[in-house]
Each structure stands twice: as structure tokens, then as C-alpha cells.
Amino acid sequence: MSLFREKPFAFFILLFAALGGLLYGYDIGVISGALLFIQKDIPLSTEQTSLVVAAVLGGGSIATLISGPMADWIGRKKMIILAAIIVIIGTILLAGAYNFSSLLLGRLIQGISIGIITIVIPLYIAEATPKNMRGRGLALFQLILTLGILLAYAINLLLAPSGNWRGMFYCVLIPGFILFLGSLFIPESPVWLFSKGKKSKAKNILQKLRLQKEAEKEFQEMEELKQETHASIEKFTWQKHYFLPLFLALSIGTLNQLTGINVILQFITIILKDSGLQTNLLSLLGSIGIGLINFIITIFALVLVDKIGRKPLLLIGTGGIVLSLFFAGVTSFALDDGTFKGTVILISLVGFICSFAIGPGVVVWLAVSEILPNALRSKGMAVALFLNSISSTIYASFFLSLAQNIGFGGIFMLSATFSLIYFLITYFYLPETKHKTLEEIEEGFRKRI
């Protein structure tokens, strides 16, 4: 009998929780098309345009700092509900914006919800799903994220003839309300309940989400780590066996954005127009092609992540990113602007997206949530994803100004360099965590000291 027939409730919570990825992806993708039309109603300078793009990432940076502690305080489920409410409020403000300040405010509020989502939903999936589903669960979060990007690109194209950028933003209300309603029915994380002394509730939920033997084994492991789980974070950060997982989480969180993934996706139409695909239609069609490929490759990653493992996928992905961005950089410098150059860069970016989707796109959520020990997981994720958000925010804020100085080719080369560092850290330091409980992963770091 399959796990789906034995424990269908595990799939229920996974699907509704992963809807947050749809919101995240849509907010990343929608701005790329909306920027082509916002200028008609709200004139923006180069710096203001970059700030509007970066604002959702900046709001996310703020949220990631508080989401971990708040998730420990009020629980994972309530934080998911809160994220859905905030994204609905932010969307209404954004779609009704009438000047730069109101546009920026709406994006910041949306960013706060995205920041909560990036912390709490991967944390929730890691803690609530069985170990043999955890990889696919977090990959599903990324898959639905890419679907959100693709959906945003498609709606951008659909509304392009009318230039209705407000409608582009309003569409995010649909997944926002679905996430809100769905999150009312998911159970609380058993790990969080156990940490609050609610052992009977934690055990009951484990039995709903796991096979009987697995539930008993994980509950016993929680008991064995009880003293460490309740110890202070200050104590643990000075123990040697926590240095490596903290270093990996913080490095991966930062380098994942320095690959350029978010800024390239958000400025994709501008990059393609600058390279030679001069019309809005060609740029939007190019962005949809990239979004579709991103979605399809993530499906393959979803299948492979629990079969061949996290580390091989991350090595393949980061290696492919280095080659794709290096080729895009050389093309940018070597060819004259025109349709041919734009097409070659589009192909290079397709390689970049494929590589990101098969590796870093899926594995980042797993790496950060799995390798951190129970005592540090929520707070460590908050710091790692704060660095993830702030690095993306800074990159986006200076993206257009940087492009004016070193060109898009220079940006491609810069991101390729960061991706090479990412590859080397993965190769030498990241352990494989496939089919291991969170407690087994933690014990593995102890044995490496």
C-alpha cells in the first residue's frame, strides 16, 4: 500500500502549505511585466524602478528577522495564516497605488508576507511531513513557486494589450485567499508542540502524519533531544558541532540569491529588450518561455530529490549556472545588440534557469531547514533567510545602476563567480541528508567533530 493511501493527511497539509510558494513566485514574476506599463500612470526614475522591484525583497528581509522568533512563540500554523492576511492587504494597497510612495508601500507589505512564507512554510513542511516525503514536500514548495512565476508571466501577457498593471497585481488575491482558507485546516507542527510541552498533542499529530513505527521512533528521538531543544541558542552556537551547519545554512542562504535568480527573473523583460528583443511582446513571450521551462525542470527535481539526493542535484545545478552565466556574459560583450544576440542570451538564460531549477531552487529550502539542529532551526533559518533576502534586496536595488556601469554582461560574470563559490562549498562541506530524520542529521554533524 502506498504512503498516499496510508497517510493521505500528510499530502493534504503539504499541498495547502506549499500554496505559499505560489504567492512568492507570483510576486517575483508579476513585477517584470507590470514595469512595462506602470510608467504610463506613475513616472519612475531608474533608481525608483529598482527600489520598487527591491521593495518586496526588502520587506521580506525585515520579516525574516522576526518570523523565526514569532514562529517559536505563537506557532507555525498561526504564522502561515498571518502571512496570507498580510499578502491580501498588501495586494489591495499595491493595486490601488497612485504614486511612487504608495507603490513602494504596497510592495513592502507584500514583501513582509513573502518573508514570513520563506521562513515558516519550509520550516513547517520540514517538521510536519514524514522523512521520506520531506524532500518532495520542500521541492513541491519550489515547484508551486515556479508555477506562480509562470502564472504571473502568462497574466502579464494576457493583460499586456490593455496595459492593465493593476489587474496583474489583483490576481494574487486568489491564491492569497486559498492559502488563508487552507491554512485554517492544517495541524500545528508536532516539533513545535513538543517544544512547548504539549507532548500528547504532538504524538497525536505524528500518528496522523506518520506510519505507526515512524511516529513512535520520531517521538522517542524528540524525547532524547529534549534537554538540547530547550537549551538557549547562545549555548549552542559555541559548540563545535554547530559551526558547520550554521556556516552552511548562512552561506547557502546568501549565495542562492547571489546567483542572480530573483533579480534576473524580475528584470527579465528589460534584459531581453536591452539585448535585442525590442518589442514588449517578444520580451514577454521570452519571459513566459523561461517561466515554463523553470516549472517543467522543477517537476523533474521534485522526482529526483528523494532518489538521487540533495548534494548531487545541487552540484549539477550550481555547475550548470556557472557555465550558463559565463556564456551569457561572453555573448553580451562579444556580440552587437540585435535579435541574434537577444536570442543567444535567451538560450543562455534558459540554461541558467534549468540549472537553478534542478539544483539550488529545490535544495535551498531542504539544506537550510534540514541541516540546522532542532534547537537552532527556526532562529537559524531566520538569520539564513534574512541574509538571503537582504542580499537579493541589495542586488535588485543597484541592478539597473550596476548594469549601466558594467553592463548586463558584467552582471552575468559577477553572478557566475558567486555561483562558483556556491559549487565549491557544496562539494567540500555539504553532507547528504536524503531519507534521514532531522535528529539523525543532527547526530551526523556531532560525529564529524
Domains and CATH numbers, the chain: 20-447 (1.20.1250.20)
Q: What is the pTM of this model?
A: 0.71
**Confidence label for 279 from pLDDT (cuts 50, 70 and 90):** low
Element (H, E) at 213: helix 212-224
pLDDT of residue 227: 55
**Confidence label for 229 from pLDDT (cuts 50, 70 and 90):** very low
Please state, in angstroms and rounded to a whole number, the distance separating the CA atoms of residues 414 and 412: 5
Task: Check pLDDT > 70 for residue 449.
Answer: no
Task: Check pLDDT > 70 for residue 1.
Answer: no
CB 212 within 8 A of CB 228: no
Mean predicted confidence (pLDDT) in 419-424: 96
CB 129 within 8 A of CB 10: yes
CB 154 within 8 A of CB 47: no
Beta strands in 101-177 (DSSP E): none
pLDDT of residue 422: 96
Query: When comparing pLDDT for 259 and 131, which is higher?
Result: 259
CB 399 within 8 A of CB 343: no
Please state, in angstroms and rounded to a whole number, the distance separating the CA atoms of residues 237 and 100: 43
pLDDT of residue 426: 93
Mean predicted confidence (pLDDT) in 180-198: 87
Stretch among 7-21, 139-153, 188-202, 323-337 having the lowest mean pLDDT: 7-21
- Neighbouring residues of 324: CB distance < 8 A, sequence distance ≥ 6: 348, 349, 351, 352, 354, 355
CB 263 within 8 A of CB 254: no
Query: When comparing pLDDT for 18 and 178, which is higher?
Result: 178
- What is the DSSP track for 374-390? TTTHHHHHHHHHHHHHH
**Confidence label for 268 from pLDDT (cuts 50, 70 and 90):** confident
pLDDT of residue 8: 66
Chain centroid offset of residue 186 CA: 21
DSSP class of residue 434 equals T
- Neighbouring residues of 148: CB distance < 8 A, sequence distance ≥ 6: 21, 22, 23, 24, 25, 26, 27, 28, 29, 175
CB 135 within 8 A of CB 310: yes
Most confident of 84-98, 116-130, 177-191, 359-373: 84-98
- C-alpha distance from residue 268 to each of 118, 219, 369, 391, 436 (Å): 22, 47, 29, 19, 38
Q: pLDDT by residue (tens digit) across 288-311?
A: 777 788 888 888 887 887 788 889
Please state, in angstroms and rounded to a whole number, the distance separating the CA atoms of residues 5 and 79: 29
Backbone dihedral angles phi then psi of residue 171, each to the nearest 5 degrees = -60, -20
pLDDT of residue 419: 96
**Confidence label for 228 from pLDDT (cuts 50, 70 and 90):** low
pLDDT of residue 232: 43
Say how many CA atoms lie within 13 Å of 151 toward its Cβ. 19
- Rg (C-alpha) for the chain, rounded Å, is 21
Specify the 3-state DSSP secondary structure of 178: helix
Please state, in angstroms and rounded to a whole number, the distance separating the CA atoms of residues 399 and 263: 7
- C-alpha distance from residue 243 to each of 123, 222, 371 (Å): 20, 22, 11
Please state, in angstroms and rounded to a whole number, the distance separating the CA atoms of residues 38 and 168: 11
Task: Check pLDDT > 50 for residue 5.
Answer: no
pLDDT of residue 282: 61
Please state, in angstroms and rounded to a whole number, the distance separating the CA atoms of residues 54 and 262: 10
pLDDT of residue 233: 44
- Neighbouring residues of 30: CB distance < 8 A, sequence distance ≥ 6: 152, 155, 156, 168, 169, 171, 172
Beta strands in 319-438 (DSSP E): none
Average pLDDT, rounded, for the chain: 82
Q: pLDDT by residue (tens digit) across 13-70?
A: 777 667 888 888 888 788 878 887 898 889 888 888 888 888 887 887 888 778 878 8
